[in-house]
Structures are given as C-alpha cells and as structure tokens.
Amino acid sequence: MAEQPQIYELNNGTMVVKITNFGCTITSLSVPDKNGELADVVLGFDTVERYVQGTAPYFGCIVGRVANRIKNGKFTLNGTEYSLPINNPPNSLHGGFKGFDKKIWEVAEYKKGDNPSITFKYHSSDGEEGYPGDVSVTATYTLTSSATMKLDMEVVPENKATPINLAQHTYWNLAGHNSGNVFDHTIQIWASDITPVDENLIPTGEIKQVKGTSFDFTAEKKVGLSINEVGLGYDHNYVLSSGEERSGLKRAAKLKSPSSSRVLNLWTNAPGMQFYTGNYVNGVVGKGGAIYNKHAGLCLETQGFPNAVNQQNFPSVVVQPGSKYQHTMLFEFSTE
C-alpha cells in the first residue's frame, strides 16, 4: 500500500528540520544566528501539495537514480545501450521525468529524542526511467549533535550493474530563505579543479585548475564577486581535494552569511560537488508567500561527476550487484 506524502519533524531543541517522504525532501531547516534567533535557511514550500504538483526546481529533494546530466540520455553498459528520458534537452537530468525526487518513499524508522532521525526506503525497479536492474535505496537523516545533521544514503543493486549517483538538492540561504539573493554569502570550496562543460552543460572530460579564474574558491570569497563572469551563474562540478578528513569524510565547503553570522560546513565522502547558484529559479512563490528569484539560494550537491557513465577518465558511478553505493553528507552549523 502506498503511503501518503506528509511532513515529519526532527527537533533536538536547537535546530528543527522538516522532511517529507515525497522525494526525501527537506522542506524547512531552522538554525540559530549569533543572537540565538532561529531562521529557516532552505528554499521550499509550506505544503506537500506544492512539491507533488512538480513546480519546484528540485527544492530540497534527493535526486536519482543518477543525479546531474547524462549526455543525450544514452549510455552503454555490459554491451547493452540504454536510452533514458530526455527531460532536459538534449540530456537526461536527475533521473528522468519521475526520478527519486518525485516518488513517495516508505518511512522505515522514525526516532525522537536527543538525536532524532528518520529513515526512508525506496525500491526502484528494473527499467524505471530507462535504468537497468532493481535497486533498494535507503536514506537516513539524523541530528547527530545540537547543530549538526547527517545524511546517509545507501543503494544496493539487486540483479544488474547500474549507474548510481544520488545528490541532495537543497537550496541554502543562511540569512533566511526569504532574504533575497546569496551574493553577499562567502564560500570556500576544498577543490583546486572543476570539470569544464560544453554548451549543453556536459563535461568535456577535462579536469581544469581553478587558480586565477572566476571559479576559484580555494580561499573564502563572496559568491557574487565574479558571478557575472560565468554566464548565468555557477553550475559546475568541483573536483573535491583530499584535504582535511574527519571520520572518513572530507571537507567540501564552508558557506557563511555575514548578515546573520550563520555558517555551514559541509563534509562528504563523494568525489565531486555541484556548486549551483539557483540560476533558473524564476519568481517561484515559496514559504509564507516569499518570492524566490534568480540566485535566491545556492546548492552544494556532493556527487559523482556529471555524465561519468560516459566519461572513462571520471571516477566510475557503476555499482555491481553484491556491492553497495554509500554516500554520506555532514551539515555542520555554527556562527562566527
């Protein structure tokens, strides 16, 4: 029996996160500023219905079976060519027309208390959106400490090799979801290279140094400083360096809002991170009637590289039956 989409709350007394089983979507995430004032720092809607209507540009959801773009919606695996829906012409994007973000997941476990958590499960069948093989997907959100949230994603292919690449697509605005554009945020990204893209936003296969370019965030820099030099804005995969590590995770990014002093440090075990500045957000009416315009939030989507299934020199995203895809993200909030 299919469950109904509804919203669940994780609350540890310091931070409050609301998540729906529709697309495993974070609809609201409230953390304190330097004065202890809570604000909701993610773009989204007040009701589940708005997500179900499909009007959101992937606000807050988990995308899959394969996040990001696959060139021309085609790939070959074990001698078989697979064709995927072209939902972002000329490419297939974020799992197709009805990816994991548009499915109702089963709530497998829901715990309250000091370290509240919720576990969602989804079974994706062979041939769904063109992908090979049955896979079992699990995603668990946990508040691991007063101002830290962990997301553990796991996918097990049951009978065929398949590409798998999940991403968490939350749009962040640390000044508050309704506070305008994120140009004054500063960001540091632990990456000295990006994977440059062609005119259809497909990586060329090159790994390119960011040093001395508008893509350089190796030191903390304002998001808006060079954004006009990169077309519509940032929408690029950063090759995460093996820098600082902590319990198997590497540091990916540090985002800060000077006006609120809120800071987000993101840690991950994924090889890449799509840094996306909400370039296609266009007058979306969100929570409390807030109007989200271009650059109203930014995404830090840790991931396998875009189109990796067709790029031999990129880390493989193909997972074999009997092995497991595991992707962890740690969101650490603070003020400074």
Contacts of 160 (CB under 8 A, 6+ apart): 126, 132, 133, 134, 321
303, 167 Cβ separation under 8 angstroms: yes
19, 153 Cβ separation under 8 angstroms: no
Whether 301 is catalytic is yes
* Catalytic residue chosen out of the listed positions 94, 128, 295, 301: 301
Q: How far is CA 228 from CA 215, 225, 234, 279, 313, in A?
A: 11, 8, 9, 11, 30
| Phi, psi dihedrals of residue 72, rounded to the nearest 5° | 55, 15
Distance CA 118, CA 266 (A): 20
DSSP class of 91:
B
* Catalytic residue chosen out of the listed positions 169, 177, 185, 327: 169
Backbone dihedral region for residue 172 (phi beyond 0: left; psi -120 to 50: alpha; all else: beta) = beta
Burial of 34 (0-12, 13-18, 19+ CB in 10 A): exposed
Is 46 assigned to a binding site?
Answer: no
The b/e string for 63-86 (b: 16+ C-beta within 10 A; e otherwise) is bbbbbbbbbbbbbebeeeebebeb
Is 279 assigned to a binding site?
Answer: no
Is 169 assigned to a binding site?
Answer: yes
DSSP class of 305:
P
Q: Which residues are annotated as a binding site for beta-D-galactose?
A: 68-69, 169-171, 235
Annotated binding site: 68-69, 169-171, 235
Catalytic residue numbers, as ranges: 169, 301
